[in-house]
Every structure is written in C-alpha cells, then in structure tokens.
Structure 1
Amino acid sequence: MNWVYVSLIFLTIIISIQPSYIHPDEQFQSLQMLSYIFNKEKYLNLNVKKIIPWEFENQNSARSYFPLYVVYAPIYKFIKIFNITDSLEIFQLVRFYNLIIFLISCKITIVTIKKRLDDKTEQIDVHLFWMLILTSYVTTSFQSHTFSNSIETIILQLHLSILQTLIPRNQRDLSNKYKFALSLLHGTLISFGIFNRMTYPAFIFFPLIYMFFKYYTKSANNMLQLISTIFSFLITSAVIISIDSRLYESDSYVITPLNNLLYNLDKKNLLKHGLHARYTHIIINLPQMLGPMIYVLFKLKKQKINLLSLSILSGLTCLSLFEHQELRFLIPLYSIFCLYIVTNCNLKAIPNYKVVVKIWIIYNVIMTIVLGLLHQSGVLLSIQFLNKYYKQNITANIWWKTYSPPTWFYNDAHIVNSSTNIENGIEYNSAIDFELRKHHVIDLKGCSIELFNDTLHKLLTNQGDKNTTIQVVIPNSVKHRVEKISNNYNITQVYHTWFHLDLDHFDIEHPSSFYPGIGVYDFSL
C-alpha cells in the first residue's frame, strides 16, 4: 500500500465521520433505535412511544430488530466497555465502523472474483476498483452513514461472492463439504437481507434465476445444495421472526418485511414519502450516483452477462417498478458497478480517459462538499451546542425548516419529542403539549410561518412566567421569514455555524435563502 492509498483512506475516514445528514432514516431507523436498544435502562421511566420511530411501534412492526442487533452490537459493546457517553463521539465511531466493514466486504469480494478468473484470458484492475471506491462521494456520504441501504450493500457483496465461488471455473472446483457450507450461508444471507430491507430480493432476483439454470440444475448434488439453501433460509427466517415477535411483544408471529411491503403497496402511504416517475432511477439517480463513470460504462466493448451485470439489471428493473425512488436505494449497486467496470475494461483504453478522470475528481469533490460535509450538518452541531450550553437542562426546543432532530443525540433520558399533525391535508399543532416546559423537542418540520408563530406564542404564554425563554433552531435560508414576526418577541442569537447547507428552501426572490448556516436563538415575549 503506497502513500496515495494511505492518504485516500485517511481522507475517506475524515469525511465519513463528518456530521452531514442526508435523510432522516439514517438517524431514526438506526441510531435512534440503537440508543434505545442498548441503553434501555435509561428509558425505564419514560414514555418510549415519544422516541421510537413509527416503523418500530408495536402496532406497525415494519422493521426488524434483528439486523440492528447483529450489525451494531460489536461497536456498541465497545462503546459500553470504554464508557463513551458523548453523542458526537458515538456518532463518529459508528460511522467509522460502517466504513470499515464496508471496505472489508469490498476486499472479500474483489479477492473472490480475482480467484475465480481465468488468468490467461481475463484480468481485473484492482487498483482502479479501490480508486473508484475511495474517491467516490457515495462511499463517504452514503455508505458510511447508518442507512439500512448501507447494510444491504455489504450483504449483497458477500452474497455475490458466495454465488461466484459456487460456479465451477476450469478444473479448480470446491469440495462438496465446502459447497454445502456456502449453500447454508447463502440461504442465511437471503433471509438476513430481506429482514434488513424488504427490497433486497430486487438485487438478487436475476442472479438467482441464472444460478438455478447455470448451476443447480446441472447435477443431483447441486440440487441438494439448493435444498440446503432453502432449508437455511427457512430456519434463519423462523429464528428472526421468533425474535422480532418477542421484542414486539406480539401474541402472533411478526413478519416485518411483509408488513413493510404491505405498507409500501398502499399508494396513500407512498404519498407521504413522495411519488416519483418510474424512470427516476434510470434517468436521474443512476447518472447522479455514477457521475462521469457512466460514460465509461457505455464505452465498454463487451457487455458480459454474469452475476455482476445481472445484479445491476435486476436491481434497476425491480426497484423501478416502485413509484417511490430515492438515490440511496441504489447504494448497493455502486460497488457492483465498480466491480463490473474493472473486470471488463482497461480505463486507459477508453477514449479521452484523462478528461474523464479529471471530471470524475471535480464531480466527486463538489458532491462530497455538498453532501458529505455540509448537507444539514448544523442539525447535529446545534444539538451538541444545546447539550453543552444548557448542560442537559433543556427547556422547550423548536426546530423549524430543518431535518428532524434525532432526540438520541441529546443524550437525555427525559427528552420528549412532539411534532405537528396533519388532518384532511391541513397541518395543525394540536398534538403538541404546550404545558411541557422541560426536555421538550418540538419538530415543526416545514410548517407555515403562521403555524410557527402560533406555536411560539402558545409555548411562551403557557409557561406562566413572562421571563421564560425557549430555544429555536432556524437555518439561515429562512431567517428572512422570521423577520415578519420578529416584533412580537425578544430574539437573541446564542449560537451560529456556517457548517450547514439547506437545499430545500431556496427562494429566488430572497437571495439570503441561498446562504449556508444555521443558528440557535433564545425567544422570549
């Protein structure tokens, strides 16, 4: 390993642990629950319904606990052993951990594929693979984050490595004992992948069909391996269902992927998360993920049909059937695309490859700054400030026009979260307890200035003391809107950072809406 790789790895680590915040799911489907799972003793006297995301509520049971326990138990064990209590340090450790296990899975995959190649007729550019992984914003801004999609990437890489190993290559074949062991692991990974995300079959559907005709139907022994795979899948699924049913305190069996699928098949539910055209993944998300490397993909002379290409086609085809399409859903395919490129081309043979490399670097630097460093970073930085400045004696905090603040980051066992409610398409604040004076986090999301003002006024007038002060967190992009109601309050800025980029509230009529930054303000009457 030369100094270039060392420098890239170091830079990748530094960027990966920055407090950028891409999507609420990376907090609420993982770290929010992990904080509760591994620190239940802190929440014994708290109404946990106020901190548990809806997917994990007993009546919904749309997410499995099992993958969180399996994947994150080692790092949380480390955190407990060394008594690490600072939220930012825990956050950075978990992201570092995610990055490391991803790089390890990449190493396993690249070694497996290299071993299975015919040295005389095929070659693989390992250096190019690592350069594509370490220089991409996808690694630092998505893969290192605590998305369930990030776990899905690792499962998919290991899964394809197993399938690649099972397929005979020349005279170098495996013992039957080893094949059966891999077949058992194959079934376990299918089950684990599905319970991690119900979309996982999308990435392996075509590869499994290929394996059935290319491998399993070739002999009776191979069919026995398929049977062992099915057996392993059923046993693993039964164990996970049993564990989830117990954790959800259900009298009946809880099958979380099925509940999740039924939820997503209802178009009314998808409307809450946003509907997209079915070509969004192909036309928008894929080019955004690959950047200039999509040019290299189209310049490949030979488009091979193998497990890598089938996984790519399978993922894009199946995921495009759903009308809710986000870039992060394609994260598992990025490393597969990289593997496919390096096993099918010599970059220097691509026309204008030097230009492509330069554009690649520029593109990823820009995307890394925007998504890996700045995007909604001030949310966690503001909570860090509130923790230290108010020494966990938190009053009522209002968050407006930001991503939802993860309450686990407050490291406060008494924290209660509330938000606006929508009835018949109209947003209200009737679900907020205005009498709650301490340890209260109020997420006003993107509500109107009128509802924001009404919430402020009710909170301050219900405190019983005219000198009461509450903290309000507002990005610079909407400060001009607050000026409309500023005469009603005494407003003092107590914290500000430019390390925050809000891409959701640009207003061409107000140039200040393009300003980065976020502030914490004391509001009083």
Structure 2
Amino acid sequence: MQKYRKYVIIYAFLLCFRFWISQSNSYIHPDEQLQSLQIIAGKFLNWKVELPWEFTSEEPIRSMVPLYLMLLPAFYTAKATCHEFCKPNTIYLLARFTMFLWSLVIDFSISRIVPPKKKWKCLLLYSISYLACSFQTHTISNSMETVFMFLTIMFLSKLAVSSVKSRKSYLLSVAASISTTIGLFTRITFLAFVFVPYIYYGFRWLKNNRQNMLLIFSHIFLMFCSCVLISSLCLYEDYKFYGKFTVTLLNNISYNSRFENLALHGIHSKTQHFFVNVPLLCGPLLPTFSLWNIRNAQAWFWIFPVAVLSIFPHQEARFLLPAISLYVVFAARYIRSRFLLLLFIIYSIVMSVFYGIMHQNGVVPSVVELGSILRDNGLLNQTSNNYYPATIYYWRTYTAPTWMLARPNSSPIDVVQLYNYSKEQTLSLFWEDHHNTQKLEKEFINFVSSKTISFPILVCPIALLQSDEDTKGLQLLKYIPYHVDLDDADELPLADLIRNHGIGIYAAKEVNMDP
C-alpha cells in the first residue's frame, strides 16, 4: 500500500476536482437538459415543460430506460427529502452528483481492463482529462454511452481469459450482453464503439476455449436471451411513455440515414472528426504515434468507431467521447515525455475550467432566479388564481431548461428561445410584446396592483447590449457572471466576450423592483 500511496493521494485530489466541476452550472450542450432532465421532470413532477422533437415526433428516437438509469436516483432522492416542493436546483445538483458516481464506474472499469502495472498511470491520466472532469459529469447521452462501453469492454476482457466451464464466465456473458443492449438503446452509435472489442476479445475467448464448443454455444445463447429480455424491458418502458409500441432504435436509424434530416442539425466535412474533433479532445496527446499504428490492435479500438462516424455528415466532438476516452487510457501506456504530459495537464485544466465551469454558465442560474421571481409574485402558485400571461425571451444563449421554473401545467408563462435573431429583431420583438402586455394588464387590475415585475423579460449575454441605445428603457434585474461561450465570436471579438462575461436578466423600467 505504501508503494501506491502517492497515486492514491493524487487520485483523491482529482476526484475532489471532478466533484467540484460536477456541481457547477456549466452547460456543454442543450441535450444535457432537453433530452434528459426536462423529460423526467415533466413525467414525474408533472411540471410544464417543452419536449424536444426527439420525444414528440411520430417516430420518437430516444429510449427511456437509459434516462431512468441516469436520472431517477436523483429525482427519487429529491422526492424523499423534500416534503412539499422539490427545488429544481436541488434536483439539478443531485443529477450532476449521480453522473459523478457514474463516472466512478468508468474508473473502476479502467482499473480492471488495463494490466496491473499500468493501472495507476492509466487511471490518473484519464482522471486529469477534461473528458472525465467535464463531459462525464454532465447529463448527456454520450456520457452514459461511454459508461456502458467501458463496462462492456471490462466484462469482455474478463470473459476472454475465463474458462467456459466456470460459473463466472456465465455471469460475465450476461453482464456483457446487458451492458451492450442498454448501450445500444442509449445511442445507436454504441455498436461502432464495441464492435472491435467484441471481435478482439471474442477471438481470444474462442482460442482459449476451443475444446468446449458446446459450452461456447450455450454462452452465446445465454447472451442472446439476456439481450432479448433487456430489449423487451426497454420496449415496454417506451410503450408506457409514448403510449404506443415504439422501437426507438429503428426510428433512430431511419432518421439518421436521411441526409435532409442531418442537414437540419448542420453538415460538416467528412474529415471533421479526424482533423478537428479528435485533436480537440486529445489535445497534446495527439502525437501518441503507437495509437495511430494500424498494426497495433489497441489503435483499432478508437480508429474504427471514428471512421464509422465519419461516414455521417453531421459530426460533433461529443460523438467521439467514448472513443477518445479509450485513446487517453491507452495513451498512458505509451507516453514517455514529461513535457508532453505537462502540456496535457495544463490543457486539461484549462479545458475543464472552460467547459466545466464557465461555458454557458449563466443559463441555469438565470432560470433558477426567474423561478424565484415568479414564485415571489405568486405566478407559480398551484392554487393561485393569478394566471397572468407572460413571456420570457432567451436570446443568444443555449436553450433554457424550462423545467427549472417548476411551472404547473396550467401556467400561462411561456419561454421563447430566439434562434437566429439579430439584435434589432430581438429588441423590436421585446418592445412590441411589452406594449401589448401593457394593454393586457388592464384585464388584470387586481394582480397588477400587487406585482413587482414587468413583462416580458429578456435574458441575454450582456456583451451584446453594451451601448446606451441598446439598454435604453431596460432595467437590469440580475447580473450573472462567468458566462462565456464562443457562439457570439462572429459578432464580437473574443476579448470583448471574455471581458464582458456574464448574462443579464432585463425588464422594462416602468415597474420598480428590488434587485
């Protein structure tokens, strides 16, 4: 134990850093809210939410079981500890903590996959990466896909060296089948990530047990039965949620096989993954040349899935999270340069702070703040008769997680995301809505006399409203600092965005309000 003491101390420090990141308000991708927490909040808490098209189309493409595994612990914990009202921010932090716990499953898998002599080196290098600190602590399906990939590889690696005569081999077969099936229902790309591991470890397993073909077939049959059982469970849960028999796997394949559908999300070059996304995720570890050598079996573990995903024209960096996580783990076995290691540590810290703390950091707190304002004004009270129609506009931010407003289903308060709106269009719409609201207020005289807030409300980066002309007639209700993104770099220099970081909650000045 004394021999590994320093590794344990470093690992404990990295876990504390990862936990700290997990409790931040950063927002990496809209799917981490809209396709996860938003869905479960609407179903289990009966709050008014806006469901994304993935769940509302005629052919839904997302399965519910992976969401339940990812989020139900947080929601049930919140329900058990909250007597009357479950605070959305509490649920949010519990969900992020659950993802932190899921990330530990990856750590455990790594410790079981790699050779014992390399265990700590691989584990520490992965733990310092921003893939582990930032992406794996967010509620996106790619993170769960990575968890199930590592579990599958761990089970397969142990199965490959076990005797088919042992009881352990049967348990490993079932476990590998279950993790593979759930992984497929999480994302259809999962098959690309486990294809090479199945081939690699499958041949080793067959070679070690070639004298017992009957037992081999019994294992395969057991894996098939386990797959059918878990698939049936997933299909049943999807049937309960969607109200009809739905095979999300087939719907997903059908949707993503059409170019016109992918064009709605953005078309990229076929080389985007290899020449942009892989370098972005790998950072200074990119020149680990042993992992680019196709004669090295480990190289195929990440090259094959990246090549398969490069066939599709819509290519985001997060799609490669499972493959590049493996790349980082394997790179620890080959890296020799201390300078390269130092560069990777610096790169990981910078990226962890950017993606894990500052990226779109103001969106979640702004919704929490708006929820408090609306509740203080009696607009979110389930028993209130003050159903005053109002609109909240979000401009040039990621889609607001409206579930965090905790609106009752009958609430007339709407949240509108202004996509692709110019500054002039946004301000024009805001003031037009404001004048219409003033006319409407005459019908709500009793309520208006007691309210302390003016509608509509505008939420946007303060860097975009810097001139006196822009803010004329506007009152800054709340300033939320450390909100940074690169989406507005086409309008303003990056230095201005960083210097004027943060987003503001604005309303018209007609009504005074204590900040």
The TM-score, its normalising length taken from structure 2, stands at 0.84
Q: Which runs of 5+ in 2 are unaligned?
A: 380-389, 443-447, 449-453, 511-515
Partners of 1:292 and 1:360 within 8 A in 2: yes
Measure, in 1, the Cα distance between the counterparts of 2:370 and 2:74.
Answer: 26
Partner of 2:451: none
2:273 pairs with one of 276, 281, 305: 281
Measure, in 1, the Cα distance between the counterparts of 2:276 and 2:509.
Answer: 45
1:373 pairs with one of 357, 361, 365: 357
Partner of 2:399: 404
Q: Percent identity?
A: 27
Partner of 1:148: 141
Matched, 1:190 2:180: yes
How far does residue 264 in structure 1 lie from its aligned partner after superposition?
1.4
How far does residue 9 in structure 1 lie from its aligned partner after superposition?
1.5
Secondary structure in 1 matching 2:460? strand
Partners of 1:58 and 1:249 within 8 A in 2: no
Partners of 1:472 and 1:523 within 8 A in 2: no
Partner of 1:70: 69
Partner of 2:315: 325
How far does residue 174 in structure 1 lie from its aligned partner after superposition?
5.9
Measure, in 2, the Cα distance between the counterparts of 1:290 and 1:392.
Answer: 47
How far does residue 4 in structure 1 lie from its aligned partner after superposition?
2.9
How far does residue 191 in structure 1 lie from its aligned partner after superposition?
1.6
Measure, in 2, the Cα distance between the counterparts of 1:456 and 1:229.
Answer: 58
How far does residue 304 in structure 1 lie from its aligned partner after superposition?
6.7
Partners of 1:384 and 1:410 within 8 A in 2: yes
Partners of 1:477 and 1:502 within 8 A in 2: no
1:356 pairs with one of 340, 344, 348: 340
Partners of 1:407 and 1:415 within 8 A in 2: no
How far does residue 211 in structure 1 lie from its aligned partner after superposition?
4.4
Matched, 1:448 2:443: no
Q: Which amino acid aligns with 1:476?
A: I
Partner of 1:6: 12
1:470 pairs with one of 456, 459, 467: 456
Measure, in 1, the Cα distance between the counterparts of 2:86 and 2:474.
Answer: 32
Partners of 2:125 and 2:329 within 8 A in 1: no
Partners of 1:110 and 1:339 within 8 A in 2: no
**Pairs within 5 Å for 1:297-308:** 297-298=288-289, 305-306=296-297, 308=298
After superposition, the Cα gap between the structure-2 partners of 1:216 and 1:483, relative to the gap in structure 1 and judged at 3 Å, is farther
Partner of 1:505: 488
Measure, in 1, the Cα distance between the counterparts of 2:309 and 2:100.
Answer: 25
Secondary structure in 2 matching 1:397? strand
Partner of 1:294: 286
Supply the RMSD in Å over aligned alpha carbons: 2.6
**Pairs within 5 Å for 1:49-198:** 51-57=50-56, 59-83=58-82, 85-114=86-115, 124-168=117-161, 173=163, 175-198=165-188
Secondary structure in 2 matching 1:443? strand
Partners of 1:404 and 1:445 within 8 A in 2: no
Partners of 1:28 and 1:53 within 8 A in 2: yes
Measure, in 2, the Cα distance between the counterparts of 1:138 and 1:258.
Answer: 29
**Pairs within 5 Å for 1:388-427:** 388-391=372-375, 393=377, 395-414=390-409
Matched, 1:221 2:215: yes
How far does residue 55 in structure 1 lie from its aligned partner after superposition?
1.0
Measure, in 1, the Cα distance between the counterparts of 2:222 and 2:301.
Answer: 23
Secondary structure in 2 matching 1:104? helix
Measure, in 2, the Cα distance between the counterparts of 1:486 and 1:301.
Answer: 53
2:413 pairs with one of 427, 431, 439: 439
Secondary structure in 1 matching 2:506? strand
Q: Which amino acid aligns with 1:54?
A: W
How far does residue 301 in structure 1 lie from its aligned partner after superposition?
11
Secondary structure in 1 matching 2:117? coil
How far does residue 509 in structure 1 lie from its aligned partner after superposition?
6.5
Q: Which amino acid aligns with 1:279?
A: T
After superposition, the Cα gap between the structure-2 partners of 1:507 and 1:354, relative to the gap in structure 1 and judged at 3 Å, is same
After superposition, the Cα gap between the structure-2 partners of 1:211 and 1:392, relative to the gap in structure 1 and judged at 3 Å, is farther
Measure, in 1, the Cα distance between the counterparts of 2:369 and 2:57.
Answer: 34
Measure, in 1, the Cα distance between the counterparts of 2:182 and 2:342.
Answer: 39
The TM-score, its normalising length taken from structure 1, stands at 0.83
Secondary structure in 2 matching 1:125? helix
138-147 or 499-508, larger mean C-alpha shift = 499-508
Measure, in 1, the Cα distance between the counterparts of 2:281 and 2:159.
Answer: 30
Structure 1, residues 35-69: CA drift from partner, whole Å, max 9, x if none? 12322xx34xx6xxx52221111623111112112
Partner of 1:258: 250
Q: Which amino acid aligns with 1:55?
A: E
Measure, in 1, the Cα distance between the counterparts of 2:432 and 2:275.
Answer: 47
Secondary structure in 2 matching 1:20? coil
How far does residue 402 in structure 1 lie from its aligned partner after superposition?
0.8
Measure, in 2, the Cα distance between the counterparts of 1:268 and 1:126.
Answer: 45
Secondary structure in 1 matching 2:399? coil
Measure, in 2, the Cα distance between the counterparts of 1:151 and 1:301.
Answer: 26
Matched, 1:33 2:39: yes
158-167 or 124-133, larger mean C-alpha shift = 124-133
Partner of 1:316: 306
After superposition, the Cα gap between the structure-2 partners of 1:454 and 1:81, relative to the gap in structure 1 and judged at 3 Å, is same
Structure 1, residues 274-331: CA drift from partner, whole Å, max 9, x if none? 1111111111111111111222x2157987744x544313311211111111111111
Structure 1, residues 4-42: CA drift from partner, whole Å, max 9, x if none? 333222122112221111110111111111212322xx3
Partner of 1:460: 434
Structure 1, residues 343-380: CA drift from partner, whole Å, max 9, x if none? x43x4xx2xx2211221122122212221111111111
How far does residue 237 in structure 1 lie from its aligned partner after superposition?
1.4
2:192 pairs with one of 202, 217, 222: 202
Measure, in 2, the Cα distance between the counterparts of 1:301 and 1:272.
Answer: 33
Partner of 1:243: 237
How far does residue 448 in structure 1 lie from its aligned partner after superposition?
2.5
Measure, in 1, the Cα distance between the counterparts of 2:167 and 2:490.
Answer: 64
Partner of 1:435: none
Counting matched residue pairs gives 473
How far does residue 188 in structure 1 lie from its aligned partner after superposition?
2.0
69-78 or 190-199, larger mean C-alpha shift = 69-78
